Each structure stands twice: as structure tokens, then as C-alpha cells.
Amino acid sequence: MKLIAAQIRPVPGDCEANIAKHMAAIRQAANLGANLVLFPELSLTGYEPRLADALAMDVSDGRLDEFQQLSDRYGMLIAVGAPTQGREGIEISMISFQPGQPRTCYSKQILHADELPFFAAGSRKLVLNHADVILAPAICYESLQPSHAEEAAQSGAQVYLASVAKSERGTTLAKAHYPMIAEKHSMTVVMANCVGAADDYVAAGCSAIWNNRGEMLCSADTVQEALVAYDTRTGETAVFNLL
């Protein structure tokens, strides 16, 4: 399976511009033979908690139909980030598109204290099965909680999909934590981070992939939009500038 973390610079609050940016990244990833493309936390809107109420979308939103079309065309699992309207409030969600299947939605279950004024926690566990590989979604703060990775491993996950919006401090914590859980649970870890403005900080990129022995295989830098790629069959790795 060829895994790609898409490191993008979202335009704060501009869904249409961000969808176009996603489309370009997906097409480039398809040309590279990707089976999966993972985008950062809240990638469709940018990580902007104060705007989430106005920007929240339904999973069935017609603007997302293009993602399903590309998933069907390329046989690819595409996972994007968006605020969605949940039962108890706005949730931080990962919406996934798989060829020939209904789209699915996983919402962040463990929120950071700073997010509590703006978001409600999700409650539904989810694993994805694509190309006979089991993948577990994880969204930023919760992906640094050992219990979350433990549950993913118990669900049979072989790949841990960490969709994040992390500052420099956050990426430092991630680089220490992800190799440990990768080795402990024998899971490949894919981290897709953004770059540029995010709420009241600057997202620090460094999107990366660790193999199931906890070895970092490849990483983007802190400022450039990029595609970080790992082929689990051949062991080939590469980082491509986003065109």
C-alpha cells in the first residue's frame, strides 16, 4: 500500500479554496500511485475554532461529492478534516472516502482543554479497511494519548492515521510519541500536519511516516506544502513538493 500524508497550507475559513487545494494534491498523489491520502486536522477550513460554528458542514454536503468521484476514479482512500454538526455540538471530524462505498465520519473523541469552548467530543469508534489493510483514524491531541493507540491496536489496526494541526512544540511531542506507539503496537504511523497560520499559532509541518518498528522513514520540512510518501510493499519513501 502506498501511503501519502498531504502537508498543505489551508486558507483560513475558505472551504472552496481549500477544496481546490485538496483536489490538486489528490491528483498529484494519484499520479504517484497512492492508495491513501491523509490530510491535516480541519483541512477543509483550516484549524480555526472560532470559525467552526459558521463553517460546520454535514457529511452529506454536496461540496464533498468531488472527493468521492476522485476516490472512485483512482481507487484511493481519501481522508479530509472538517468541522461537522454533531448531536451535542460541533465536532472535529475526519471524513473518509473509499471507492464504491458510502463516506464515513470519525470525530475526535479526546479534546484538548482549549477546544472545549468550541467543540463537542465524538463518541463513535471507527476503523477503516482498504486494500485489505486496517487503518485507525486519530485526530491531533488524542493521537498523543496512549489509550487511544491501545484501542486502535485492539481493533486490529495496522496503520494509525494521525491527522493533526500542530505547532513546533506539538511536532516535538509527536516525534517522541509516535515511534513508541508504532513499535509497541507494530503499527505504521502516518502524520499529516499543516503549515502556516492556525488559530493563534503557526503550524509547523514536519509531516512524517514511521514504520511498524518505530523508525521514521521520511518527513517534510516546517514550511513547504508537500506530499510525504511510503510504499509498504517496496519500502520506498519520498517527499514531493506540492505542485
Domain range for 117 is: 2-241
Identify any residues that bridge with 57 across adjacent strands, giving them in sequence order. Answer: 84
**Residues in contact with 241: Cβ distance below 8 Å, sequence separation at least 6, in sequence order:** 224, 225, 226
Half-sphere exposure of residue 91: CA atoms within 13 angstroms, side-chain side? 21
- State the Cα–Cα distance between residues 2 and 233, nearest whole angstrom: 8
Res 20: pLDDT: 97
Cell output for 18? 481549500
SS percent in the chain: helix, strand, coil, step 5: 30, 30, 40
Determine if the pTM surpasses 0.75: yes
pLDDT in tens, 27-69: 999 999 999 999 999 999 999 999 999 999 999 999 999 999 9
Q: What is the CATH number of the domain that holds 47?
A: 3.60.110.10
Hey, how many other C-beta atoms are within 10 angstroms of the C-beta on 185? 20
Domain count, the chain: 1
Which tens digits make up the pLDDT trace of 173-208?
A: 999 999 999 999 999 999 999 999 999 999 999 999
